[in-house]
Amino acid sequence: MQNTDTPRVLVLGATGRTGAAVVKELEATPGQVVPVRASRSETTVEQWIKEGKEAVRIDLDDPDTFPDALEGIDRVFLMTGYTSAMNHQTKTLVDAAEDAGVSFLVHLGVFGDKRSTDPHFAWHELVERYIAGSKVAWANVHPHVFMENLLGINRLRDGRMVWPMGDKQVGWIAGDDIAAVVARILADGPDIHTGKDYYLSADLLNGAEVAEVLSATLGQDIPALVLGPDDLQRMIDAGLDVAPANMDAAYAASTLIWARQTYEGRMDYSAVTTSTVQDLLGREPVHLGSWAAAHRQELLGQLS
């Protein structure tokens, strides 16, 4: 019989890279919390249930699905997709969580300074203010650039690391470290983490430095093509660079604004590394060289 005293954690995005990794981390510490996978796909939910996993259907674009999904849920991991709909989705979900008696919400945000003018950073800061104004206890996790972006939006092009921000450095963090930190906060709960902001940045590197790490790790010469945001805009206009399919036009335009602000020095406040992984997990974060070694075949596949 299930222990009803064990907090149940609704994990949004459980079919994606980050959400699935959070579930995996939570399952590695049985007895602390019960992870409940969430998906908008009824077929996916049914399959999870057949496999003996706790799962519910939720569609962030349909608030009518929220009450059933939140029934019996104590804690929520809140992440949204790369679309401007995140504002409406988060507002309505937080309302529903409050109504359902959810005690703790962990939001996956961005590495902002709470005064951002870049739209998608500002959207996250808006929803964080809304969450803070609710009756639900909360914590925010603020990752810098995902190392996994090197498999997607920042993938190698024609064997080169394309960098549209001159010599500016940004912070890098591995997805596994994001998931491990989120899972620790969810498992520990509100008594320890309420009202806290956790910033994640393991390595501070620009495009040329990333190329050096990849070259050394993969044993291949990977040059950096160092550009500016105007060059990137011309590439986009010429159809040489396109946004990922899961990113809407407004969000994609915002990422270009972020690149421009980084290039201009307006994001220099974020050019730091943090000790969050060491502080919460008691170990070193995954550094880019180790991450690249673990993803060696995927990276080499970009060179073929």
Q: How much helix, strand and coil, in percent to the nearest 5, is found in the chain? A: 45, 15, 35
Task: Report the length, in residues, of the chain.
Answer: 304
Q: Is 197 exposed, middle or buried (0-12, 13-18, 19+ CB in 10 A)?
A: middle
- Whole-angstrom Cα distance, residue 110 to residue 92? 20
Nearest to 191, CA basis, from 74, 270, 302: 74
- CA 77 to each of CA 12, 61, 286: distance values in angstroms, whole numbers, following the listed order: 6, 17, 22
Residue 105 maps to which CATH number?
3.40.50.720
Q: Is residue 129 part of a domain?
A: yes
Provide the pLDDT for residue 296. Answer: 97
Note whether residue 154 is domain-resident: no
pLDDT value for 280: 98
**pLDDT of the residue at 304:** 79
Instruction: Give the residue among 35, 33, 28 at the shortest CA–CA distance from 6.
Output: 33
**Helices in the chain by DSSP H: which ranges?**
17-27, 42-50, 66-70, 86-100, 119-132, 175-188, 190-193, 207-218, 229-237, 249-263, 276-281, 288-294, 296-301
What does the mean pLDDT of the chain come to? 95
pLDDT tens for 56-99 read 999 999 999 999 999 999 999 999 999 999 999 999 999 999 99
Predicted local confidence at residue 27, as pLDDT: 96
Rg (CA), the chain: 20
Q: The domain containing residue 189 runs over which residues?
A: 8-144+172-202+272-286
Q: Is residue 248, in this structure, part of any structural domain at all?
A: no
CA distance 211 to 294: 16
User: What is the model's pLDDT at position 239?
Assistant: 81
Residues 165-193 have pLDDT tens digits of 999 999 999 999 999 999 999 999 999 99
Q: What pLDDT score does 138 carry?
A: 98
Question: Is 255 within the bounds of a domain?
Answer: no
Minimum mean pLDDT range among 4-18, 197-211, 287-301: 4-18
pLDDT greater than 90 at residue 195: yes
Average pLDDT over residues 280-294: 98
Long-range pairs for 3-8: beta carbons < 8 A, 24 or more residues apart:
6/31, 6/32, 6/33, 6/34, 7/32, 7/33, 7/34, 7/74, 7/75, 7/103, 7/189, 8/33, 8/34, 8/36, 8/54, 8/72, 8/73, 8/74, 8/75
Is 82 within the bounds of a domain?
Answer: yes
**pLDDT at residue 246, as a whole number:** 83
Q: Is residue 55 part of a domain?
A: yes
Say if 293 falls within a structural domain.
no
pLDDT higher than threshold 80 for residue 16: yes
Does residue 1 have a pLDDT over 70? no
Residue 107 banded pLDDT, cuts 50, 70, 90: very high
So what's the pLDDT on residue 4?
63
The set of residues, in sequence order, having a beta carbon less than 8 Å from that of 81 and lying 6+ positions away, is 13, 60, 246
Q: What is the pLDDT of residue 257?
A: 96
**How many structural domains comprise the chain?**
1
With respect to residue 198, please indicate whether it lies within any of the assigned structural domains: yes
Look at residue 243 in the predicted model and tell me its pLDDT.
78
